[in-house]
Amino acid sequence: MKKETICVQSGTYHDLATRGVNTPIFTSSSFEYLEREDCPYPRYFNTPNQEAVVRKLCALEGAEDGVLFSSGMAAISTAILACAGATDHVVMLDALYGGTHAFATDTFDRFGIRYSFVATNADAVAQALTPGTKAIVIESPTNPLLRIIDIRRVAEVAKRRGITTIFDNTFATPINQTPLALGIDVVVHSGTKYMGGHSDLCCGVVLTSKERAGQIRAMARHLGGSLNATTCYLLERSLKTLALRVERQTCNALRIAEFLAGHNAVRNVNYPGLPGFIGHKIASTQMTGFGAMLSFELNQGVRQADFLHRLQIIRPAVSLGGVETLICAPAETSHAKISADERRRIGVTDDLLRLSVGIENVDDLINDLKQALNDK
Ligand SMILES: *Cc1c(COP(=O)(O)O)cnc(C)c1O
């Protein structure tokens, strides 16, 4: 089955009692245990609603098994703690999502986990490996500069040395990129973003082999970040339109990136789909679409605050991946806790604006940007 079909059809719980076409919401946290081996319990990650969504997500990412969490960070932290402990070493990109970055710097010392942060390229990752390295944590495209890393090369180097690769695929979604097919061991997502897609739920997911999912589920049962049945249902409903939404968002983003790149009030448009973009070549070999996130800087002549206030459709708001187009200044939001010097070093200038492109009519979006850029 192709992805559009998987989104709609895979994983649905067939309710023999009513023969309704949707997975019912099973509210129970208590189930009878006689004559059954694997008694469901929400924190055991094995209720009917959790399992239905996991089956759909497995089909989309090409995974054998998966674990559904109450947030993206629950998924990421549990996956890392399941494969690295005291004295182990973990290699991470310095461009990782802020929460993942902070998880390492705030807690790894306490757990005795050693770690290195490296630039977003496969050579830097390879050079940072030590005999004690147990895991490599990467993402591509990165936030907010959309940097691209050669996924196949990282996976190859790691496989040769028996190191587990963990890949945050939130930005690309399985519609535009399937890292497991490129050799990655474990894919994680913040389902809060494109998978939920309507800016109204919080969840996360790990997708991997049967064996690794078993190890991660065992750790998850200790840490306890499970997802409730109602949110499972909302997520399952949202996933039915994931392909439709992401395909439209991706088309809109390319049009907007081209418009911005040709506007004299704008410089440095970061979008993997632009042929002149630094990561375009590698992205073309590992993404089927270039995603719906982009960033850009305004020229000196346009004041950022004025520009943001002039926008009438596009809303200045944090988070991403919903049906509505959102804009934010990473220096004031996702990267606000990082020092100004460090922000400059990693390329996140005060001028940088990040756009999460929605499903609206693209001409309406471009006209909104146009009037906000040109108005002096
Ligand atoms: C939002 C986000 C996360 C964290 O997910 P939560 O659901 O907020 O816990 C992780 N990685 C990326 C790339 C994200 O955008």
Say if residue 192 is in the same domain as residue 255.
no
DSSP-derived letter for residue 131 is T
3 is catalytic: no
User: Of 41, 43, 55, 159, which is the active-site residue?
Assistant: 43
Tell whether ligand 1 has an atom less than 6 A from the beta carbon of residue 228: no
C-beta of residue 149 within 8 angstroms of C-beta of residue 223: no
255 is catalytic: no
Say if residue 122 is in the same domain as residue 231.
yes
Domain range spanning residue 187?
3-239
Report which ligand 1 atom has the smallest distance to the Cα of 319.
1
DSSP result, 100-125: HHHHHHHHHHHHT-EEEEE-SSHHHH
Q: CATH number for the domain including 253?
A: 3.90.1150.10
Say if residue 320 is in the same domain as residue 213.
no
Tell which residue, 233, 229, 273, has the closest CA to residue 29. Answer: 229
134 is catalytic: no
Owner of token pair 């790990």: 206
The predicted pLDDT at position 375 comes to 65
CB burial of residue 1 (10 Å; 0-12, 13-18, 19+): exposed
Say if residue 234 is in the same domain as residue 257.
no
Say if residue 106 is in the same domain as residue 166.
yes
Q: Which of 71, 73, 78, 238 to mutate to test ligand 1, by most ligand atoms within 8 A of the CB atom?
A: 73
E runs forming strands in 128-200: 133-139, 164-168, 186-190
DSSP result, 219-286: HHHHH-----HHHHHHHHHHHTTHHHHHHHHHHHHHHHHHHHHT-TTEEEEE-TTSTTSTTHHHHHHH
Beta strands at 164-168 and 133-139: parallel, antiparallel or unpaired: parallel
Structural domain count of the chain: 2
Say if residue 235 is in the same domain as residue 275.
no
Other CB atoms within 10 A of residue 364 CB: 13
Tell whether ligand 1 has an atom less than 6 A from the beta carbon of residue 359: no
Say if residue 346 is in the same domain as residue 367.
yes
Cβ neighbours for 107, distance < 8 A, ≥ 6 positions apart: none
Q: Which of 239, 270, 302 is the last residue of a domain?
A: 239
Tell whether ligand 1 has an atom less than 6 A from the beta carbon of residue 202: yes
CB burial of residue 251 (10 Å; 0-12, 13-18, 19+): middle
Tell whether ligand 1 has an atom less than 6 A from the beta carbon of residue 279: no
Say if residue 232 is in the same domain as residue 332.
no
Say if residue 91 is in the same domain as residue 48.
yes
The predicted pLDDT at position 345 comes to 85
190 Cα to the center of ligand 1, angstroms = 4
Say if residue 309 is in the same domain as residue 178.
no
User: Of 56, 147, 193, 212, which is the active-site residue?
Assistant: 193
Tell whether ligand 1 has an atom less than 6 A from the beta carbon of residue 49: no
Cβ neighbours for 347, distance < 8 A, ≥ 6 positions apart: 145
Tell whether ligand 1 has an atom less than 6 A from the beta carbon of residue 12: no
Say if residue 224 is in the same domain as residue 253.
no
The predicted pLDDT at position 369 comes to 98
DSSP-derived letter for residue 288 is S
Threshold 0.85, pTM exceeds: yes
Q: Which of 239, 273, 300 is the last residue of a domain?
A: 239
Say if residue 132 is in the same domain as residue 272.
no
Q: Which of 239, 274, 309 is the last residue of a domain?
A: 239
In order along its 376 residues, the chain shows pLDDT tens digits of 999 999 999 999 999 999 999 999 999 999 999 999 889 999 999 999 999 999 999 999 999 999 999 999 999 999 999 999 999 999 999 999 999 999 999 999 999 999 999 999 999 999 999 999 999 999 999 999 999 999 999 999 999 999 999 999 999 999 999 999 999 999 999 999 999 999 999 999 999 999 999 999 999 999 999 999 999 999 999 999 999 999 999 999 999 999 999 999 999 999 999 999 999 999 999 999 999 999 999 998 899 999 999 999 999 999 999 999 999 999 998 888 888 888 888 889 999 999 999 999 999 999 999 999 986 5
User: Of 168, 212, 217, 271, which is the active-site residue?
Assistant: 168
Q: CATH number for the domain including 235?
A: 3.40.640.10
Read off the tokens for 207. 């997708």
The predicted pLDDT at position 291 comes to 98
Report d(CA 340, CA 312) in Å as an integer: 30
The predicted pLDDT at position 347 comes to 87
C-beta of residue 93 within 8 angstroms of C-beta of residue 138: yes
Report which ligand 1 atom has the smallest distance to the Cα of 320.
15
